[in-house]
Structure 1
Amino acid sequence: MTVQINTARLLKLIDDFAQFGRTEKGGVTRLTLSDEDKQARDYFVQIVKEAGFSVQVDGIGNIFVRRLGLQPNLSPILLGSHGDSQPLGGRYDGIYGVLAGLEVLLSLNDQRIETMRSIDLVMWTNEEGARFAPAMMGAAVFTGKLSLNDALKIQDKDGLTIKDELERIGYLGQADFSQYKAHAALEVHIEQGPILERNQTDVGVVTGALGQRWYQITFDGLASHAGTTPMNMRQDAAVGMAKAIVKFNEIGLREVLNQGRVTVGYVQLTPNSPNVIPGKAYFTLEVRHPSTVSLTQIDQEIRQILTDIATETNLSVCIKQVVTLEPLAFDVRLTDIIQNTAEALNYSWERIVSGAGHDSCHLNSKFPTAMIFIPCIDGLSHNEEENITDEWCEFGGNMLLNATLALANEH
């Protein structure tokens, strides 16, 4: 026997939270620890307290909500996702998983369903990494992969630290979750890609995630007058960057069939003036791949390409690797439970690998973890026009509710 969420309420919750940082085209800009983030956090805490749930905030600002089970001594089920967004991002990325988890707790209350295990819901801090790097920061601190002291010192482009901004918005918490153990962790998320919609599949059973390598690269040349410096005497950092971008794109195209992705997402020229040859070019590079061996080989290629270009163009180059995430597989037993849940609900399903990083990727190293995907229209994400159907919204909520219920009553 399956149970159902209150779809109308979940849709309203999504609409309500989409007002915090709403953009002209219906997306959101809700950067980590911004005023808009504070508004979303405050409203979230207000709702869960009114529903009778307890709330705790840890030192990095992760918000934990508990619906108490009949046997509180047993390890809980952990649900959740993140509340922050990309600049000009979508209204579902991350926050859908938080609100679907909230709807699970509210639906259990409405239907007076008790569970043996407690159910915890978390809103993670800074999954996107758009304002403060690295991404998935709240989950990294929670799992011990990043020290809290180091995280609190991290600055944004204006020199404001994580600690400064947590204090400013009132979410520098004191709760200690260093000994926390979950029986299982689940996250529901939009796919952020086109596969489920293209295949007309209702839900994705996420079996794992691609490995990732992120780099910060700087070419240094010589800034000089654009009108008086001959072409063959220039040390143009922008040319070095352009040559590198083309080479990196060729690697990505070569790895298409292997599910590899290579992206230059951010570029900055200095002094960035129309009539000055750029003396410095800074850019980011990220590589994603399901194979650790391939990631290692591509890393060697990248370094050789950059060295060769620097020599060819009379530049110096600095390569800083800032993120290393190995390819991972989610818990097999949990993915089987999710698949069985889809079949019980009569939803079509397929197994899928996540191309994006998620908070669950960090949790996976600490306790059994799995993810559920729902389709998004045209596979569009990190975009104001990111969208889902009401039906997909309902599918994800029902999947999370029924899988959680099964796990929360396990001995």
Structure 2
Amino acid sequence: METLNNINKERLFHTLSKSSEIGAIPGKGLKRLALSDEDKEMRDIFKGWCQEAGLTLRVDDFGNMYGRREGKKALPPVVLGSHLDTQPEGGRFDGILGVLLALEVVNTLNDHNMETDRPVEIVNFTNEEGARFEPPMLGSGGVAGVFDQEYVYSRKDREGHSFLEEMQRIGYKGEEENRLGDFHSFLELHIEQGPVLEEENKQIGIVEGIQGISWMGVTITGEADHAGPTPMHLRKDALMAAAEIMHNMEKKIANTEVTVTVGKISASPDTVNCVPGEVYFTVDIRSTDDQLREGAVEQARALISEVCHERQVDVETAELWETEKIDFGKGIIDAIEKSVETLGYSSRRMVSGAGHDAKYINNIGPTAMIFLPSVNGKSHVPSELTLDEDIISGANVLYQTVLALAEE
């Protein structure tokens, strides 16, 4: 079977280089929030590339973009892709690599005049990051029935702009009939976003599933006071309560099987010489074992309540988002592994610690992922990096796997 050894590297790295210009920030990073002007610019470029590749383009009611290459037979397609939006201070590879390597697979099929039995579709999902509109993965979640249309459309950013308004503003509101239909298999290539592959000197990660995730919002209300005249023993300091909670969660709940992260925090009145009267923070709890994750969430709630009671401050908690651990399709995993073996690459099977569009697409059809090494395990930062040789290896595996699946 032909492989991607004849990939047009110049073309591939041109698309990556061009993407790296759209929303560029200092430090080689990107700020390309979903449905922003920068997102529109990148979408327009991607649309042009799809048209140049001879793909039939369509956009659904969540702004998801699809490019279709027809097959010899009227069969459900092999679908591959990811997302083009980024974090506010994100990198050049997260999600982007999955979309642009999918495009390169199609271009290489064209270069070699390859006809596949099944159609091949590539996709760019909207708002995977959730950096602008929470929660993450609204585009793929909408398609998969996790979120209904009204819910997705009503999500607002910090300036009060809704998902629907911004989708219409940039001209990427399509039709419901254009949503992802029945498919044979879905493949998402992605950077690992962690240190394991690099640490173990493996070229490819064969992803068997994605761990469960729970998000919680916590609001602590104490009393704002002057920092000078108010004695320590008479304070109801919301921020000190939050700090104790965070410290105890790290010491008592987090372990090798459960991660706990406080990623967002704000304090009021937020001045140097005032005792904070109100604090809001988020808690992200993850595990490959749903029972352990759910237990950790209950531990966190109990700990929060205990600390706030002792410090005589009020507290409210809210569940922001929850997804269970999922297992990917065995047939696709085996196809990826066979491709890796054929190409002679080193690999390991693993479970993803991050959420991805593939998590929701797995609800509606057979799905799997391919991971590439992240230098120093860094992601969601401008210094995010995956080496050129690893990108080529990933392209080879993706292409080989698509060829195999498209003939099933």
For this structure pair, what is the TM-score category when the shorter chain's length is used for normalisation? over 0.9
Match of 2:8 among 6, 9, 12: 6
Contact 1:2/1:344 (CA < 8 Å) preserved in 2? no
Choose from 26, 31, 34 the match for 1:32: 34
**Match of 2:354?**
356
> What is the alpha-carbon distance in structure 1 between the residues aligned to residue 213 and residue 152 of structure 2?
20
Counterpart in the other structure of 2:242: 241
The CA distance in 2 between the partners of 1:3 and 1:50, in whole Å, is 22
Normalising by structure 1, what TM-score? 0.97
Give the corresponding residue for 1:148: 149
What amino acid sits opposite 1:308 in the alignment? Answer: E
Q: How does 1:190-209 map to 2 (within 5 A)?
A: 190-209=191-210
Question: Is the Cα–Cα contact under 8 Å of residues 253 and 296 in structure 2 kept in the other structure?
Answer: no
Shift of 1:178: 5.7
**Counterpart position of 2:320:** 322
Deviations 1:204-253 (A, max 9, x none): 11111111101111111111222222211211110111011101111454
After superposition, the C-alpha distances for 1:108-139 in whole angstroms (9 at most, x for unaligned) are 01110011111111100011111110001111
CA distance in 1, matches of 2:378, 2:169: 34
2:121 corresponds to 1:123: no
Query: How far did 1:392 drift?
Result: 0.3
CA distance in 1: counterparts of 2:78 and 2:374, whole angstroms: 26
- The separation in 2 between residues aligned to 1:393 and 1:290, in whole angstroms, is 27
Deviation of the 1:50 alpha carbon? 2.2
- Secondary structure at 1:146's aligned position in 2? coil
1:120-178 per-residue CA deviation (whole Å, 9 max, x = no partner) reads 11100011111110001111001010011111111111111001111111111114256
Aligned residues of 2:59 and 2:179 also touching (Cα < 8 A): no
Single out whichever of 172-181 and 240-249 deviates more from structure 2: 172-181
- What residue in structure 2 maps to residue 74 of structure 1? 75
Q: For residue 193 of structure 1, give the secondary structure of its aligned residue in structure 2.
A: coil
Alignment of 1:8-407 (within 5 A): 8-71=10-73, 73-177=74-178, 180-251=181-252, 253=254, 255-256=255-256, 258=257, 260-407=258-405
User: What is the distance in 2 between the residues matched to 1:252 and 1:27?
Assistant: 33
Question: How many percent identity over aligned positions?
Answer: 39
CA contact (8 A) 2:204 2:345 kept: yes
TM-score by length of 2: 0.97
Q: Which amino acid aligns with 1:36?
A: E
Please say if residues 251 and 262 of structure 1, whose CA atoms lie closer than 8 Å, have aligned partners that are also in contact. no
CA distance in 1 between counterparts of 2:350 and 2:68 reads: 30
| C-alpha distance in structure 2 between counterparts of 1:75 and 1:138, whole Å | 21
Q: How far apart are the structure 2 equivalents of 1:110 and 1:149?
A: 42
What displacement does 1:389 show?
1.2
Structure 2 counterpart SS, 1:176: helix
* SS at 2:30 equivalent: coil
Kindly state the Cα deviation for residue 8 of structure 1 after the two structures are TM-superposed.
Answer: 2.5
* Distance in 1 of aligned mates of 2:342 and 2:176: 38
Aligned length: 406
Over residues 354-410 of structure 1, what are the superposed CA-to-partner deviations in whole Å (9 max), with x where a residue is unaligned? Answer: 111100011111100000011111111111011111110101111111101111111
State whether residues 60 and 179 of structure 2, in contact with CA within 8 Å, keep that contact through their aligned partners in structure 1. no
- DSSP-derived class of the 1:350 partner: strand
In the alignment, the residues of structure 1 paired with residue 355 and residue 139 of structure 2 have an alpha-carbon distance, to the nearest angstrom, of 13
CA distance in 2: counterparts of 1:335 and 1:152, whole angstroms: 34
Conserved? CA contact 1:54–1:66, under 8 Å: yes
CA contact (8 A) 1:32 1:126 kept: yes
In the TM superposition, residue 336 of structure 1 has moved relative to its aligned partner by 0.8
